[in-house]
Structure 1
Amino acid sequence: MTSAARPLSAEPQLTFIQVQVSDPRAEPMLRELGSEYAARYGEVAHAELSRYPDEEFTAPRGGVLLLLLEHGEPVAGGAFRRYDGTTAELKRIWTHSAHRRRGLARRVVAALEREAVARGYRRIHLTTGPRQPEARGLYLAAGYTPLFDVEADPETIGPLPFEKHLTTGTHPAHPGKAADL
């Protein structure tokens, strides 16, 4: 194969799938999230992962868990749940620690937004913890409006709320595989 015939990107094939929270492929995400939350917030953080019943993340209640797979293994994912009749709430946005800084979380957020629009939601609400500056940066870069004083010390605010208004024309960055939902 000549260099001109090589693929432009060596990026492995990444595919979104929809699974239930109880699917074994979701377990690495939930385990790593629990460990990371505990490291940042202490043992009380484990309560966050069990705060909502699994049904909150499955139809018809309005939620879905997505995993972005690389060679059949989950490397990034997230979920949304019904917040109110027109609003979805993003939860559990995650990228495996070995796969960070590749734009995968942004792709997950974009896919979740598209799925929320397809299900009739017009707005996304989310919160992130004050000790997660990378999440704060992700949501700001993805066009979310902070519902808090961005100049204030995040530790004095508590959970940092964001929102984004969606339209049927909302097509976040990274079309392609994420659009195959």
Structure 2
Amino acid sequence: MHDYCIRPAGPEDLDGARAVMLDTVYRDFATGYVPRWHGDIVDPATAYLAPDRHLLLVALDGEDGEVVATAALDSRGPAHPPNPRAVAERYPSGATAQLRRVYVRAEHRRRGLARRLVAELLAFAAADGGYRAVYLHTDPSVEGAEAFWRSLGTVVLDERDRGAGGQGIVHFDVPLPGPVPAAGPGRGPVTRPARAGTSRSLTAGDPRGALPARSCAPRPRRPTGR
């Protein structure tokens, strides 16, 4: 069975993560790369590594150590426009954990990897103490995307039901694991998993998943010549 390790991304992972993201938007999405939508792909360090309440996960192939999947979370709610006003009002920034960039290279799909990555993000959101909801949207034209998210969350708005005025996007609510804490946004404990591994939450994944995940330390940096 293929082996992977999952960890919070460090600077040494960003080139690999960016490659997975860019390949996905160009190969799977009809829009390709759009700067106003995909700025976090170009600068994932600012988007996900710097803020304490944000997280970028990477999955590394256990055979060659290459990044083969990504998953991210940030505290920005869906903006209006382009998203419908009702969705933006339901999921305000600061109180909403938005799931982003859950991308798996085609040759590594259908192995439970995306499900494990999402479980890690949900555990992180629950530990934050300030997130009141988890939101994401997906393009149903991407093969397997809608079915995957329907297995984890609830549709709050399907733009295909809105006629020509919508973008055809499906908006989802995903339940936070455990009880929702009473603290306001940002007031609860912030527990970003240690850079050296994710052993705290690797057992939080769906037990039905097929992934034999393990904690992993960052790859050593290659020496650079002077």
TM range (shorter): 0.7 to 0.9
Q: Provide the rounded CA distance (Å) in 1 between the counterparts of 2:111 and 2:100.
A: 20
Alignment pair present for 1:82 and 2:75: yes
In the TM superposition, residue 79 of structure 1 has moved relative to its aligned partner by 0.4
Alignment pair present for 1:137 and 2:147: yes
The equivalent of 1:15 in structure 2 is 5
The equivalent of 1:111 in structure 2 is 120
TM-score (norm 1): 0.74
Cα deviation, 1:2-52, whole Å, max 9, x if unaligned, reads: xxxxxxxx332x211111577223132122123225xx3234645422268
Aligned partners of 2:17 and 2:69 also within 8 Å: no
Identity %, equivalent residues: 24
The equivalent of 1:4 in structure 2 is none
Task: Decide which moves more: 171-180 or 51-60.
Answer: 171-180
Distance change in 2, residues 1:48/1:150 (3 Å): closer
In the TM superposition, residue 66 of structure 1 has moved relative to its aligned partner by 0.5
Alignment pair present for 1:32 and 2:32: no
The equivalent of 1:68 in structure 2 is 59
Structure 1 vs Structure 2 CA RMSD: 3.3
Give the aligned residue type for 2:39: S
Q: How many residues align?
A: 168
User: If each structure's helix is expressed as a fraction of its own residues, which one has the higher value?
Assistant: 1
Aligned partners of 1:111 and 1:178 also within 8 Å: no
SS of residue paired to 1:24: helix
Distance change in 2, residues 1:132/1:116 (3 Å): same
| Structure 2: gaps spanning 5 or more residues | 77-92, 181-203, 218-226
User: If each structure's strand is expressed as a fraction of its own residues, which one has the higher value?
Assistant: 1
- Larger RCO, structures 1/2 (Cα 8 Å, 6+ apart): 2
SS of residue paired to 1:30: helix
Q: Provide the rounded CA distance (Å) in 1 between the counterparts of 2:179 and 2:59.
A: 23
Task: Decide which moves more: 40-49 or 22-31.
Answer: 40-49
| Structure 1: gaps spanning 5 or more residues | 1-9
The equivalent of 2:37 in structure 1 is 48
Q: Provide the rounded CA distance (Å) in 2 between the counterparts of 1:64 and 1:154.
A: 35
Alignment pair present for 1:100 and 2:106: no
